[in-house]
Amino acid sequence: MNKQDFKNIWLILRNLAMNYKKVLVSMFLMSVSIGVRPYVAVVLTGILIDAVYEGASFEILLRYALYGVGITSVFMLIETVTEKIFNQHLEYMFEIQNRPLNEKSMEMDYEYLEDAKVHDSRQRLNSAYTRFGIQGSALSHISKITTSISSCVTALIIVIPMFFRKDAADYGWIGSPVLSIVFFALMGFFVWVNYKVLVYYNTKSNEIRKEQAPWENRKKFYMDLLASAEPQKDLRIYGQKALFQKQAEKIVSKEKAVGRRSAFCMMKSGLVSQAIVAILGLLVYGFAGLRGYVGMITIGNVVTYASSISKVSDSIYMFAHRLGWLKGVANYAVHYVDFMALQQRKHEGTIPMEKRRDNKFTVEFENVSFQYPGSNTYVIKDLNLSFVIGEKMAIVGKNGSGKTTFIKLLCRLYDVTEGCIKVNGIDIRKYDYKEYCDLFAVVFQDFCMFDFPVGENMACSTQVDEAKAMDALERAGLGDRMKTLPEGLQTYVGKGFDENGVNFSGGEKQKMAIARAIYKDAPFVIMDEPTAALDPEAECEVFAGFDKMVGKKTAIYISHRLASCRFCEDILVFDKGQVVQRGSHEKLEQEEGLYRELWNAQAQYYA
């Protein structure tokens, strides 16, 4: 474990300490008690042996025994209470870990979510230590480390009198403090060697296991893939079963090989460590025995000291192991810390959005250029355009010409690289982001409907205005379908949350996404290829009803099917991130240019 590992572990626990102090306090008390308690029996055994040897009465022996039982009971009581508190929290540590991560995911700049590295970090945190989370796993290792440290400290306190005694001179060289120091140094040396050996093999074993990391991701990929129905269609049609099995076998045999090498490594560690512990035992018994032999310490003391010191070896073993495992947790903690430390790059404006009853908004793109983060290609280049609310605008162009990116910029999912976008004359970065978002209802190509009831999906809330939801669904062309649902708006979308849920078709879900946009009743309605999953009849329905759907709002309609957009008065033709033509279908059709080229190419298919 290096300094950075400790720092990362400290950072993940600091978050926990702020909200769950009880867990840390109970973990600490529990661990210390577990470390110290065994010594009550060790010390008591020594005392009883001496008492018996000196011919103590039965009452005295009984009193000692009762003291022992009493003290042990106190420790056990502490352990029972603290263990209960600790384990209770441990059970939902994964959820405790995920809560701030989820909040961060929902609040962070959108650009991070499309960043492969950030995505990978989040995935790793999701799949690692899924029972107790990384915080819970760190805590359980730290708990064992605390136990081993308190055990060593207790042992040291017990054995110190054996090393340094005022009457040492009476026992010749056997009682000499020099011998104590030599013994102490030898013991320290062997304990240190033992620790080093364990750490060495642990690190090696961790490194071997690390080779497995890329395979773990693949395994998760296969498991997720096979658990969902979607990919099974292709799998069956293309007879990919054998391919999948081969790939899965590859992973299993890799895992087996890694597991074998790691187990062999740990076996070597165990052998060397046990040999060192045996030497330590010899030393301790020899030394204590010698001092017992000359009468410097009692027989009871010999037993107490020797048992204490052999417990130290066990503790060192536990300490080194758990430290190695903690290092494994630290490898994941770094993802947690980095993820939580991602800084908002987007400028957070404060100007409130003007709430206009007449919905009069003007939008201007002024010399806007944009590159995706980490790329040096301009996806939008020097774009200048303006439009006014109430207008219907269509954007057409080939795939990859920047249509969706234009929408992402308008909705501030990304900020422009150069130039600026203004709404009502003010740079959109200056507006309060939440209020600015309220302006838009967007149906993205890859929209998401959740496995919640239809009504909640419409309202994006548990408070559903049923009449409004039904009206939106009707306008989006789902009126008849809704009548067939026995639970109406309470019907669950998909079967993820409710086995009586309905698996709606792609086209139906697309209509639902349109209905959700209508329900939001925002001044701008943007539809990015909203008819891709619709059949021609349904597509016609959407177009015919489009004006009715959006009313007097500004509507931006993106499509690569030119026929869909030809009824729009204002058509923008995108090419390589620029608007190369603008006008009505009739105008553009007359002009020499991309529009006519695309129109003619597509007309063949409609003819």
Minimum Å distance from CB 444 to ligand ADP? 10
Quote the CA–CA distance of 99 and 97 in Å, as a whole number: 6
Tokens of 309: 């010191």
- Of 328 and 397, the one with the shorter C-beta distance to ligand ADP is 397
Residue type, 182: V
Please provide residue 357's backbone torsions phi and psi, each rounded to the nearest 5 degrees.
-70, -35
Minimum Å distance from CB 517 to ligand ADP? 18
The continuous run of DSSP H or E covering 443 comes out as strand 440-443
Burial class of residue 77 in the structure, from the number of CB atoms within 10 Å of its CB (0-12 exposed, 13-18 middle, 19+ buried) = exposed
- Of 400 and 536, the one with the shorter C-beta distance to ligand ADP is 400
Quote the CA–CA distance of 325 and 330 in Å, as a whole number: 9
Q: Which of residues 185-224 bind ligand ADP (CB under 6 A)?
A: none
Taking CB under 6 A as the rule, does residue 175 contact ligand ADP? no
- Of 187 and 396, the one with the shorter C-beta distance to ligand ADP is 396
From residue 232 to residue 251, what is the string marking binding to ligand ADP with x (rule CB under 6 A)? --------------------
Quote the CA–CA distance of 565 and 599 in Å, as a whole number: 11
Taking CB under 6 A as the rule, does residue 462 contact ligand ADP? no
Window contacting ligand ADP (CB under 6 A); options: 134-142, 204-212, 223-231, 392-400: 392-400
CA atoms within 13 A on the CB side of 267: 6
The continuous run of DSSP H or E covering 115 comes out as none
Alpha helices in 128-227 (DSSP H): 133-163, 172-175, 177-210, 213-227
- Of 154 and 404, the one with the shorter C-beta distance to ligand ADP is 404
- Of 322 and 408, the one with the shorter C-beta distance to ligand ADP is 408
Minimum Å distance from CB 401 to ligand ADP? 4
Q: Of 35, 175, 397, 501, which lies in the binding site for ligand ADP, with binding defined by CB under 6 A?
A: 397
Q: Of 146, 151, 404, 581, which lies in the binding site for ligand ADP, with binding defined by CB under 6 A?
A: 404
> Do the beta carbons of residue 85 and residue 23 sit within 8 Å?
yes
Q: Of 26, 150, 405, 581, which lies in the binding site for ligand ADP, with binding defined by CB under 6 A?
A: 405
Taking CB under 6 A as the rule, does residue 2 contact ligand ADP? no
Q: Which of residues 57-116 bind ligand ADP (CB under 6 A)?
A: 114
Helix, strand, coil shares of the chain as percentages rounded to 5? 65, 10, 25
> Do the beta carbons of residue 50 and residue 301 sit within 8 Å?
yes
Q: Nearest to residue 570, comparing CAs of 388, 405, 424?
A: 388
Q: Which of residues 276-305 bind ligand ADP (CB under 6 A)?
A: none
Taking CB under 6 A as the rule, does residue 399 contact ligand ADP? yes
Count of residues touching ligand ADP (by CB under 6 A): 12
Tokens of 406: 């234009």
Phi and psi based region of residue 425 (left: phi greater than 0; alpha: psi -120 to 50; beta: remaining)? left
- Of 345 and 495, the one with the shorter C-beta distance to ligand ADP is 345
- Of 143 and 405, the one with the shorter C-beta distance to ligand ADP is 405
Strand pairing report for 392-397 and 570-575: parallel
Strand pairing report for 392-397 and 380-388: unpaired
- Of 82 and 405, the one with the shorter C-beta distance to ligand ADP is 405
CA-to-CA separations, 96 to 132, 382, 480, in angstroms, rounded: 9, 46, 44
Taking CB under 6 A as the rule, does residue 400 contact ligand ADP? yes
Quote the CA–CA distance of 522 and 352 in Å, as a whole number: 16
Window contacting ligand ADP (CB under 6 A); options: 150-158, 291-299, 340-348, 398-406: 398-406
Tokens of 361: 């908004």
Tokens of 564: 């869909």
From residue 369 to residue 388, what is the string marking binding to ligand ADP with x (rule CB under 6 A)? ---x--x---x---------
> Do the beta carbons of residue 560 and residue 396 sit within 8 Å?
yes
- Of 310 and 445, the one with the shorter C-beta distance to ligand ADP is 445
The continuous run of DSSP H or E covering 465 comes out as none
Q: Which of residues 318-377 bind ligand ADP (CB under 6 A)?
A: 372, 375
- Of 300 and 402, the one with the shorter C-beta distance to ligand ADP is 402
Window contacting ligand ADP (CB under 6 A); options: 8-16, 207-215, 358-366, 396-404: 396-404
- Of 402 and 501, the one with the shorter C-beta distance to ligand ADP is 402
Minimum Å distance from CB 580 to ligand ADP? 13
CA-to-CA separations, 22 to 26, 35, 142, in angstroms, rounded: 6, 20, 16
Taking CB under 6 A as the rule, does residue 531 contact ligand ADP? no
Minimum Å distance from CB 382 to ligand ADP? 15
Window contacting ligand ADP (CB under 6 A); options: 128-136, 206-214, 334-342, 394-402: 394-402
Tokens of 212: 């497995």
Strand pairing report for 440-443 and 362-370: unpaired
First CA to last CA distance, the chain: 71
Minimum Å distance from CB 371 to ligand ADP? 9
- Of 375 and 500, the one with the shorter C-beta distance to ligand ADP is 375
Q: Nearest to residue 342, comparing CAs of 124, 113, 138, 133?
A: 113
Window contacting ligand ADP (CB under 6 A); options: 181-189, 197-205, 401-409, 447-455: 401-409
Quote the CA–CA distance of 414 and 49 in Å, as a whole number: 78
Taking CB under 6 A as the rule, does residue 401 contact ligand ADP? yes
Minimum Å distance from CB 558 to ligand ADP? 7
Minimum Å distance from CB 265 to ligand ADP? 42
Binding site for ligand ADP (CB under 6 A): 114, 372, 375, 379, 397, 399-405
